[in-house]
Chains A and B, each alone.
Chain A
Amino acid sequence: MTWQTYLPYLLVMALVTYLIRMLPLTLMRRQIRNRFIRSFLKYVPYAVLSAMTIPDIFYSTGYTAGVPDGLITAAVGFAAAVVAAWKGKDLLTVAIVACVAVALVQGILLMI
């Protein structure tokens, strides 16, 4: 990507992300009282991560890049990650479990 295209994007990303973190921490020293806003803000992170994961996770192991078994391996990786997360494993473990599950299924599919 050319730097002329890249730099404005980088600047916007970094600046917006930083201001979101910095402004509340430095300016607001009191708790928000409005119940609706507090509730809304509580649910936002879960909604964002859920919408980013579903359905994109199923295309994360190369299906759109031309790996025909991508949907199958991703589905197994997804299932493995859900089980590991359900059991309360930490971030690193769940990420590794998903990758290992995908690798295993890829290996099995290569052999048959």
Chain B
Amino acid sequence: MKKLSFRDGLRHGVPIGLGYLSVAFAFGIQAVALGLEPVQALLISMTNVTSAGQLAGISLMAAGASLMEMALTQLTINLRYALMSLSLSQKMDESMQTLQRMIFSFCNTDEIFAVAASQEGRLGKHYLYGLMIIPWIGWSLGTILGAAAGTLLPEFFRTALGIAIYGMFLAVIIPPSRKQKPVRVVVILAAVISVILKYTPGLRNIPSGYAIILCAVAASTVGALLFPVADEEEEGKEA
């Protein structure tokens, strides 16, 4: 089997980078709408490289949340990366020593993970470095373009772009929900709890960061109790 090269990584990163460009554009617009400077939005994207966490992050900033709420929210929303990192750590070859792993970790997003995990055989540093570059550029470039040009864009387009990031979330959760009943149950349960927390008097005063934590922990616990995953081999393939 041919070893995947740096160029292979770059090539595989192009569609991810294009997707990030448009979604980050929407993030940039939203960040400015919430009162951040374009440069502040850009710095968040360059250092975080995660859609859901950043979206929740700027909302918490705008709401003046505590740093503890910010940390807990990021921890919960981004906990999935721990699982992805765990899974990928099994697929790396001997060129991925501690330093290389520390560099790659920075860009282990849902999409980069999905592409890397679906390759055959073990992955080396050249391929993984190639894979992370274009998505990172797309994510950063899209953010500054959205943040800077977003205000120039007529309201008509700005409102339409506001839904982009949620469209991407749906694209991640719907296909597995269709194929796997456990995922479907967890997704619906989390949505129902989220709606209850949002509209029930008293409960709706819970800060949004904590509300997401509650939804995620409750729905995932029920999912884990009702549908424990099968053996580890199968889990590896599914991821």
Chain A contact residues: helix, strand, loop or mixed: helix
| Count of chain A residues near B, Cβ 8 A | 78
Q: Which residues of A contact B161 (CB under 8 A)?
A: 99
A28 to B83, CA, bound (A): 11
Which residues in window 83-97 of A have CB below 8 A to B?
84-86, 88-97
Closest to A102 in B: B160
Interface contact B171-A17, CB-CB below 8 Å: no
Which residues in window 161-207 of B have CB below 8 A to A?
161-178, 182-183, 186-191, 193-195, 198
A12 to B60, CA, bound (A): 12
Q: Which residues of B contact A (CB under 8 A)?
A: 15, 18-19, 22-23, 26, 33, 35-37, 40, 43-44, 47-50, 52-57, 60-61, 64, 67, 70-71, 74-86, 88-90, 98, 101-102, 104-106, 108, 110-111, 155-178, 182-183, 186-191, 193-195, 198, 211-212, 215-216, 219-221, 223-225, 227-229, 232, 235, 238-239
Q: Which residues of A contact B (CB under 8 A)?
A: 1, 3, 5-6, 8-10, 12-14, 16-18, 20-26, 28-29, 31-33, 35-36, 38-57, 60-62, 65, 67, 70, 73-74, 77-78, 81-82, 84-86, 88-100, 102-103, 106
